[in-house]
Structure 1
Amino acid sequence: MLNTKQKTLRRFWYAIMPMEHLADGPKPFTLLGEKIVLFLDGEGKPAALEDRCCHRTAKLSTGWCKDGNIVCGYHGWEYDRTGKLVMVPQFPERQAVPNARTRGFHAQERYGQVWVALDDPIADIPDVPEDVDAGFRRIPQFYEHWKTSPFRLMENSFDAAHIAFVHRNTFGDINDPVPEQYKIEETAEGFTASVRQEVVNPAHAQKITGEPAGKTMRNMVNKWYVPFYRRLDIEYPSGLRHIIFNCATPIDDGNMQLTQILFRNDTEEDCPAADLVAWDEAIVREDKDMLECTDPEVVLDLKMRTELHMVTDRPGMIMRKRLLQVFHDNGEEEYVEGAAPVLAAE
């Protein structure tokens, strides 16, 4: 699967950037290979257009905002939030503005982020009820570029077998490489994977978890939403909840953006946000280093046998099956680049 070749992926919402990044003017972004520009309209709501002026093709992201519209920095042509050309400064008042436009895309704010769908959405942004729960605080954690594909990150997020090895310096135990198996329940949006897992709580993490150092058992409910969203609810024995919500946004076929938000049922006085970001950053960095050395192209059809699998890979195998079904339901097949190598039979 190459993300830019799968038209159905254009019909989902993706987290693009924090709303605050638009406070000082338009910003460019590449989504599924599409060059877009984001800006705030007259009501302070996000808008997304093709990053291309229909006059001389200049990037609108090099311009500025004026009364809720975006102005091209080349000749001052002005567009509204839908992409319609509304003003040409070189025309006299008696000359009508041409009936022209640059393409507009769906945009909205959610969880403090700008979300964009390139085509008419077929699913909503996943709901995180803690965002409106007064007992929880929202902590933006990561907004960064990774040289891998969204599927690799999603699959890794449910791969319990990698913890003992990739995270041996944070919370994994390399001497205990066989993880507990997830209890998986498929849903209309994806699946829920639940497990009670024994892990290591390092001494320096006691403020994070509210529990003593050493081996500990944690309840974890990990949810995957088609295509590239994940919500991990970790319940520590102390009663603290550490809820991670992330979106793996496809930039192109070999690059993605990680947007990650944390929800906690404590206060800044209990545990500073900077400490929570630092704790999760150490873990995320271990994943990033490993995933960036994998092949970003993932073949979804298990019959093609481009990769071997084991029992703990079941979540990723379900992801493959479900994405193939989504593509099929929307009238397309998986795109695979070239002839994939075939591994030896078992």
Structure 2
Amino acid sequence: MLITQQPMFRHFWYPVMPTHLLDAGHPKAFRLLGEDIVLWKVGEGRYASMEDRCCHRTAKLSMGWLENDRIVCGYHGWAYDCTGQCVSMPQSPEAQKIPYKVKSHLTEVRYGYVWVCLEPDPINTIPVLEEDGAPGFRLIHEFYEPCRATGLRLMENFFDFSHTGFVHKGTFGNMVDAKPRKTEIEETEHGLVLRGDVPVLNADEHIQRVVRDSGLESVRHMVSQWYMPFMRKSQINYPNGLIHSLVTSATPIDDERSMLCQWIYRNDTEAEVSAADCIEMDRRITNEDILILEGLDPDVPLAPAHAEEAHMYTDRPGLAMRRRLLKMMEARGEKEVRTPRNLARFGIRVETASA
């Protein structure tokens, strides 16, 4: 599946940029699903997004500046409001009504991010996270960085409890006891929920400090929620009562890259465990995942007839994701688009696109 070739994904909300990057009053560029967009702050708690392309000579609006909540093109000074309407042409100051407009996008602010939907009719709603603002929980922002891995690969990895013992053998993985226990999958309106117990080794002193558990072997109870298409919340419940909830969005940049947006909620205090220590632990663990995921084929086959990949029992969450997305695409009249190299390799005939 090539996500930029599937129109359905343009109808989802994605966290695109932390608000603090826009609060300085400068426009910022982003590529979302292969489309260049520009974001800027238009007032207290309000932000705008539209195509990063002046309708005059296609100059990047992100290279301009802000003036009275409007974005001004750095090439000829044309100014646009937050709806994308051109409201000023210095070369024609007598114009009463300017007919030119740039396509604007829906924006919302949630969890410290500006969220964008490229089309005016979103499929989903921005997930409600029960820990956010709940008594006893603190929010820690961790990562905002690109990686060469696609959203579906990242989501499948986060819901694959059987990879832990091997990919994370350098941090907390238990290769001797690598089989998850009590795995249960429940499909929901927004995606799915996976519950399971994962055996781990707390051999690393830094991790022992962060999870506040000096025992060598333990079992983590995981409740992971998938929010279509590429967002998850994994609530890790430790035997000592600590809750460490990871929220990750793999915001799609293009067919091969995602922007990793991650923050956590914890039911402890800075005095007990510092935010810096939490980030360091999750950085090491995330790096182990990314090292593997960046080597995977970004073109994930959705249709079960595509035999490129073998599967095992613990792949059930990922296969459920594939079925769910394919069913949604087919309901919208879309066909799965694949790269020619994968089609040729297995002699599969479906819709094709340029590699």
TM-score (norm 1): 0.96
Q: Can you list the C-alpha shifts for 1:281-307, whole angstroms capped at 9, x where unaligned?
A: 000000000000110110101111111
Deviation at 1:95, TM superposition (A): 2.6
Aligned to 1:66: 67
1:150-229 equivalences under 5 Å are 150-180=151-181, 182-202=183-203, 203-229=205-231
Superposition RMSD in Å: 1.4
Deviation at 1:97, TM superposition (A): 4.1
Aligned to 2:256: 254
For 2:106 and 2:310, locate their aligned partners in 1 and report how far apart those are by CA, in whole Å: 39
Aligned to 2:350: none
- The alignment-based identity, stated in percent, is 46
Contact preservation (8 Å) 1:231, 1:243: yes
Aligned to 1:21: 21
Contact preservation (8 Å) 1:85, 1:97: no
Aligned length: 342
Contact preservation (8 Å) 1:306, 1:340: no
Q: Which amino acid aligns with 1:335?
A: V
Q: Which amino acid aligns with 1:116?
A: V
For 1:284 and 1:199, locate their aligned partners in 2 and report how far apart those are by CA, in whole Å: 16
Q: Which amino acid aligns with 1:241?
A: I
For 1:206 and 1:167, locate their aligned partners in 2 and report how far apart those are by CA, in whole Å: 15
Contact preservation (8 Å) 2:180, 2:196: no
1:342 to 333, 339, 346: 346
1:45-84 equivalences under 5 Å are 45-84=46-85
Contact preservation (8 Å) 1:70, 1:80: yes
Ranges in structure 1 where 5+ consecutive residues have no aligned partner = none
For 1:206 and 1:239, locate their aligned partners in 2 and report how far apart those are by CA, in whole Å: 14
Which shows bigger deviation, 7-16 or 130-139?
130-139
Aligned to 2:150: 149
Deviation at 1:263, TM superposition (A): 0.5
Aligned to 1:85: 86
* SS of the residue 1:219 aligns to: strand
Contact preservation (8 Å) 1:64, 1:73: yes
Which shows bigger deviation, 125-134 or 306-315?
125-134
Contact preservation (8 Å) 2:161, 2:198: no
Q: Can you list the C-alpha shifts for 1:192-240, whole angstroms capped at 9, x where unaligned?
A: 1101222112332222112223001221101111111101001111111
Q: Can you list the C-alpha shifts for 1:283-336, whole angstroms capped at 9, x where unaligned?
A: 000000000011011010111111110111111110110000111122212111
For 1:42 and 1:14, locate their aligned partners in 2 and report how far apart those are by CA, in whole Å: 21
* SS of the residue 2:75 aligns to: coil
* SS of the residue 1:171 aligns to: coil
Which shows bigger deviation, 334-343 or 36-45?
334-343
For 1:158 and 1:96, locate their aligned partners in 2 and report how far apart those are by CA, in whole Å: 57
Aligned to 1:12: 12
Aligned to 1:240: 242
Deviation at 1:175, TM superposition (A): 2.1
For 2:307 and 2:270, locate their aligned partners in 1 and report how far apart those are by CA, in whole Å: 49
Is 1:328 aligned with 2:330? yes
